[in-house]
Amino acid sequence: MIDYAYPDVLVDTQWLSHHLDDPNVRIVELAMGPDLLENAHIPGAVFWSIFSDLSLPDMSMNLDVNVIETLLSRSGITSETTVVAYGSDPAIGGVVFWLLTLFGHQHVRVLNGGHQKWMAESRPVVAEFSTFAPSQYQAKPMDSNLRVLQKEIQASISNAEQILLDVRTSEEYRGEHFMMKPPEGTERAGHIPGATHIEHISVINDDGTFKSFEALQTLYSQQGITPDKEVFPYCAIGGRSAFIWFVLKYLLGYPNVRNYDGSWNEWSRLSGVPMGSEVKQE
């Protein structure tokens, strides 16, 4: 992992196995539901729900500082705690990294290989999540430099120095599939015009670990996504794009990357904005 721009943002399974009882380390499992990895949680992990903990009813990310403080306090996390994030999807760790960095937490790490590699190595698992004495966490103000909003996304469509990066599946990009059923039929299909498409899972090896620096660099540079450009990743609800923000900024060292957390969930419901390859919803 030493070849990455900021290798310290990753920990491997061996490191984590040696820190399972470290009181200064808090392991976070992020998933849609607590039973997704039923009876196979990493010892000491606390559970965070994508839906009830991190999302609003309209599926946009809940960026209320009070909600973040409550979540971290509930998990016994202080400003000095090293948070190690993982989930069933390799992208999950990057979501937690972006969210906590957004609110100024200094010590966040992503488990390289995630749950997949932990299980492949037959490391210990438990049936129950852990609980800890609550803390009184105080978050820093949101760092708006890590986000890009809809108006700037719209302006970037005609700006050659800014790149829109669609990290959804090919089916989502072409407008053939929704990540989830659109409520009340308000979501249209397609992509933001001019967006380059590289699926988020393209950065992961078969064993769940990140591809090498050289492989990642080739993957993006071949599509014109280079460090001299400003890059705006987006997906369906801002999670997969947060993961690619992490890859571009911390593994490759791209200086100008901001996550469009509003993503397709927001863009597709706006009237008067351009759409690419719209497919009629059945």
**Contact status, residue 257 vs residue 9, Cβ threshold 8 Å:** no
SS3 202: helix
**Contact status, residue 42 vs residue 16, Cβ threshold 8 Å:** yes
Q: Which of 54, 77, 204, 235 is catalytic?
A: 235
At position 252, the amino acid (one-letter code) is L
- Paired with 54 in beta bridges are none
Return the DSSP state at 185: G
Contacts of 44-53 spanning 24+ positions with Cβ under 8 A: 44/20, 44/130, 45/86, 45/129, 45/130, 46/75, 46/76, 46/129, 46/130, 46/131, 46/132, 47/129, 48/75, 48/96, 50/239
Give every CB contact of residue 172 below 8 A, 6+ residues apart in sequence. Answer: 178, 179, 191, 236, 264
**Contact status, residue 278 vs residue 77, Cβ threshold 8 Å:** no
2: nearest Cα among 210, 225, 205, 256: 210
182: nearest Cα among 277, 261, 62, 280: 280
Strands 10-11 and 25-31: unpaired
CA distances from 81 to 31, 43, 197, 231, 239 (A): 21, 17, 36, 30, 23
Rounded to the nearest 5°, which phi and psi values hold at 28?
A: -115, 125
- Is 222 annotated in the active site? no
Catalytic residue annotation: 235
